[in-house]
Amino acid sequence: MPEGAKLKRIAMVVEFDGREFHGWQRQQNATSAQAVLEGVLACIEQQPVQLTAAGRTDAGVHAEALLLHADVDAARWHRAPRAYTQGVNRLLPDGICVSGVRGVAEDFHARFDCLERRYRYRIWNRSTPSAIHRWRHWWMPCPLDLDAMQEASAYLLGEHDFSAFRASGCQASNPVRELRHIGIDRHGMEISIDLHANAFLYHMVRNIVGTLIGVGRHRWLPARMQEILESRDRTLAGATAPAHGLYFTDARYDAFSARDIVGVEGE
C-alpha cells in the first residue's frame, strides 16, 4: 500500500470449519483461522492487516457468521469491494471463506460494539452414530428429556455470575453475563441448543450444554441447575461438551448483524 494511502474500515463475515484450525485467535505454534485470513489479506494489501473479531472460538469450534473488522486501502475498496470476498476466497484454503463484507464507520469495533453473541450447539440423538454428521454434532445415544432440559435452562436466563460454568483458564475479570435466550429444539435426530448473550465466558456454552445433558438424562432434577448456578462452583456442573458440536452463529450490532451481511459485497 502506498505511503499515506487512505484507509477504509470494513466489516467482514467469516465462516470456517473448526476441524481445520486451532481456534480463531492467532497461535504461535498452531494454525488459526485469524492467521490464515490475515495472511491472505496481507497479500492483497501488500502490508500486514490486523483483524479484530466479535469473539473467539476454541479449537474444533465452527463459525457460521463470525464478524470481524479490518482497515484496508480505501481506493481498492471503492474500486473493487469484491476483492475482499471473491478475491480473498480464491486464495484461502478449504475450510474457510469470507461470506460477506460491507463498509462501516471508522470507529466501528467488532468486539466492543457487539451487543449480542449467538451460539448453537448440535447434538445427534439416536442409538447409532452418523457417518455424515460425526464432526458436526455431539453423538448422544441415550434418550434425552427435552422438557426437563428446557425447564432447567430457564434458571440461567437473565444476568448472573456464571462462575460455575466457566473453565479454570478463563481470563475474564468479571464473571457476570446476561443470558438472554436459550432455545432447545428437536428436528428428527438432531437436537439444537441456541444461546444468546451479551458475552460468554471461556467454555461457558459447552459447560452449560454438558450440564443440560445431565438433566436430560435424569441425572439431576431441573431445579439442580439453580443450585449449581448459585454455588459458583465449577466442580458441581456437568462435563464440558465436545468442541465439534458448537457453532458461532451470529454477532449483533445497533444497525445490523453478521448474518445481515452474508452475501453482501460492498456498501
Q: Say how far apart CA 45 and CA 259 lie, in whole Å.
A: 26
Tell me if 189 sits within 8 A of 126, measured CB to CB.
yes
CB 141 within 8 A of CB 128: yes
> Could you give the CA distance from residue 124 to residue 68 in angstroms, rounded to a whole number?
30
Please, what is the end-to-end C-alpha distance for the chain in angstroms? Answer: 22
41's CB contacts (< 8 A; 6+ apart) are 49, 51, 70, 72, 84, 88
Report how far residue 172's alpha carbon sits from residue 75's, in angstroms, rounded to the nearest whole number: 39
Half-sphere exposure of 23 (CA within 13 A, CB side): 14
The CA distance from 99 to 51, in Å, is 16
- Catalytic (active-site) positions: 58
Closest residue by Cα to residue 226 from 216, 236, 217, 213: 236
Q: Which helix (H) or strand (E) holds 69?
A: strand 62-73
Residue 7: beta bridge partners?
73
